[in-house]
Amino acid sequence: WAISRNRYWGTPLNIWECEGCGHLESIGSRAELAERSGNPDDAKVELHRPYIDAVTFTCPDCGKTMKRVPEVIDCWFDSGAMPFAQHHYPFENQELFKQQFPAQFISEAVDQTRGWFHSLMAESTLLFNKAPYENVIVLGHVQDENGQKMSKSKGNAVDPFDALATYGADAIRWYFYINSAPWLPNRFHGKAVQEGQRKFLGTLWNTYAFFVLYANIDGFDASKYTLEYDKLPVMDKWLLSKLNSLITEVDTDLENYKIPETARALDDFVDQMSNWYVRRSRERFWAKGMEQDKINAYMTLYTALVTVAKLAAPMIPFMTEDIYRNLVCANDPSAPESVHLCDFPVANPAYVDKQLEEDMEEVLKIVVMGRAARNTANIKNRQPIGTMFVKAEKALSDFYQEIIEEELNVKEVKFTDDVREFTTYTFKPQLKTVGPKYGKQLGGIKEYLANVDGNEAMDKLNAGENLVFDVNGTEVSLSLDDVLVEMSQKEGYMSEADNTVTVVLDCNLSEELVEEGFAAEIISKIQTMRKDSGFEVMDHIKVGIAGNDKLAAIAAKNEKAIADKVLADSIDKDAVYANSKEWNVNGEKVTISVEKQ
């Protein structure tokens, strides 16, 4: 039989066979069985071996005895009957069955394609002419870090309980969510889990810890305040807009079973919340008293942390529970006692400002590219730069320009429509496309591209025109897809670009800028010495600068700016105080000393 197995345990095949003529009959119920056997007790017979095998009846064809065949039904047939068999349908629970059938989704590993997925589909189609499930989430198998199947014989199997003890359940869950689509194989190894642990879980926890630290210092209780949107500054409105856009994105992605997309959206938001919002808002939390601006910062970050805890709860249930219970339950006895008992967040459209999000996204892009240009030019962040030129699709307002200037330590950001004064372009043929068309002319093409006016050629290509020229009597026509483009900068300038934004740093440092850079380095060294000396945050000190007349003169010239930053009552040339250290400050050796007043 196609659906039978030669085993003892299982659902008995309901076929009776005549031992004389081989006549076969399928019995459909206990009542029918009792009728055929003539024994009323058979209407209550236990439908498993050995009890069912004791029921026999007379063959209608030859008069001999009919006995049940020895086989049982394949267990996959049982699994396929699950949707209706669990409710004893159609004999009872008809309304309950109709409410639950078909299932909204089913999830198993990829090998169930020929197993449970198939048996459910086959039986449902035969009985109801419809699929038993609306969505299927197929899970790929877990492999070792080299992509090999895990097995004890190979010695590459990972004990899940050892992994849980080492990395924690949240970190392992998060790795599987964000690593790839569920149906693809996953290479499991500790470094990958730890990367997610550091990048997402660690960042979320550190942001939460930052909030708790200062909330405890200030005795801040969120239940005593409300989020007053109209009083919020731009940074707060930006974070709330991103948060409510995130709610919609996560809800939509989960509704459509987009698991990695959900995880990446959460990951991106937490990164920007920590590395942009908190970093730019730190001084608001450090401010004295409890002014409205400080309340705004607390309430905005509190709202974001609690909402993210609710959004991420299905994925990282343990960390989000800790965050929620400490931030919410500790101050509000009426709140649900668990994040998993809360309603899923609903976006507030009034808080969503897409223009604000787009403008801040451009700020972030410019800042990232500016940092990259600084790194390439090997100019430290503490060294001020005079000017940065930006070519973008639109100029940003003064508010955003000031953010860029602060982030990149640039005196002035200038938006311009043309950066060709500082940059040019060089071209090489794209061999994959040019070779098949102009193989014999390749040498002449390279020569032409090496000598072409880079800016003029780029203008043509960006306008959708081709570069048309002659090589040994053959007309050559190259589109943007036919060339490899590199942007280069003129001496004294450093640029970075993508398809929409170009930034150019003026790396020519005036004497005043260099001096300001030295002053910033001196401040950094003194702050390090304050920390190493165990001084309290509000301790006033005196500073000595010895062994370098140049740096002593710069320190004297910038004494007020340095003193204000490091709480120094005096900065004294050639003095050596209790805690001293020799430093290399931008190539200049100097002894700096500090002492508490």
Residue 150 placed within a domain: no
Q: Are residues 197 and 293 in the same domain?
A: yes
Residue 127 placed within a domain: yes
Nearest CA to 519 out of 327, 383, 339, 364 is that of 383
Q: Are residues 206 and 229 in the same domain?
A: yes
Q: Are residues 92 and 199 in the same domain?
A: no
Rounded distance, CA 25 to CA 14, Å?
Answer: 8
Alpha-carbon dihedral angle through residues 444, 447, 450, 452, given to the nearest 10 degrees: -70
Q: Are residues 247 and 345 in the same domain?
A: yes
Backbone angles phi, psi at 276, to 5 degrees: -125, -60
- The CATH number of whichever domain residue 548 belongs to comes to 3.30.2320
Can you list the pairs that 336-343 forms with residues at least 24 positions away whose Cβ atoms lie under 8 Å? Answer: 339/309, 339/310, 339/313, 340/313, 342/310, 342/313
Q: Are residues 566 and 443 in the same domain?
A: no
Q: Are residues 483 and 342 in the same domain?
A: no
Q: Are residues 198 and 123 in the same domain?
A: no
Residue 524 placed within a domain: yes
Domain boundary among 324, 352, 380: 352
Residues with Cβ < 8 Å from 209, sequence gap 6 or more?
none
Q: Are residues 237 and 335 in the same domain?
A: yes
Residue 369 placed within a domain: no
Q: Quote the tokens at residue 7.
A: 């085993």
Do residues 23 and 60 make contact, with C-beta atoms less than 8 angstroms apart?
yes
Residue 241 placed within a domain: yes
Q: What DSSP character marks residue 396?
A: P
Q: Are residues 244 and 339 in the same domain?
A: yes
What confidence score (pLDDT) does residue 1 get? 56
Residue 516 placed within a domain: yes
Residue 375 placed within a domain: no
Rounded distance, CA 366 to CA 544, Å?
Answer: 39
Query: What are the pLDDT tens digits along the chain (597 aa)?
Result: 577 788 888 889 999 999 999 999 999 888 999 999 999 999 999 989 999 999 999 999 999 999 999 999 888 888 899 999 999 998 899 999 999 999 998 988 888 888 888 999 999 999 999 999 999 988 877 777 777 787 777 777 777 888 788 888 888 888 888 887 778 777 777 787 888 788 899 999 999 999 998 888 888 888 888 888 888 999 999 999 999 999 999 999 999 989 899 999 999 999 999 999 999 888 888 877 778 888 899 999 999 999 999 999 999 999 999 999 999 988 888 999 999 999 999 999 999 999 999 999 999 999 999 999 999 999 988 999 999 999 888 888 999 999 999 989 999 999 988 777 777 788 999 999 998 989 888 999 999 999 988 888 988 888 889 999 999 899 999 999 999 988 777 788 888 888 788 899 999 999 999 999 999 999 999 999 999 999 887 889 999 999 999 999 999 999 999 999 999 999 999 999 989 999 999 999 999 999 998
Q: Are residues 211 and 301 in the same domain?
A: yes
- The CATH number of whichever domain residue 325 belongs to comes to 1.10.730.10
Rounded distance, CA 448 to CA 445, Å?
Answer: 5
Q: Are residues 45 and 107 in the same domain?
A: no
Residues with Cβ < 8 Å from 562, sequence gap 6 or more?
519, 522, 523, 526, 543, 555, 568, 571
Do residues 260 and 177 make contact, with C-beta atoms less than 8 angstroms apart?
yes
In which residue are the tokens 């069985």 written? Answer: 33
Beta strand 541-546 pairing with 588-596: antiparallel
Give Cα separations from 260 to 108, 140, 176 (angstroms). 17, 14, 9
Rounded distance, CA 280 to CA 497, Å?
Answer: 25
Nearest CA to 410 out of 422, 418, 402, 399 is that of 402
Q: Are residues 115 and 241 in the same domain?
A: no
User: In which domain, by residue range, is 119 found?
Assistant: 76-139
Domain boundary among 318, 352, 386: 352
Asked whether the bond before 90 is cis by omega within 30 degrees of 0, the reply is yes
Domain boundary among 43, 73, 103: 73
Residue 384 placed within a domain: no
Structural domains counted in the chain: 5
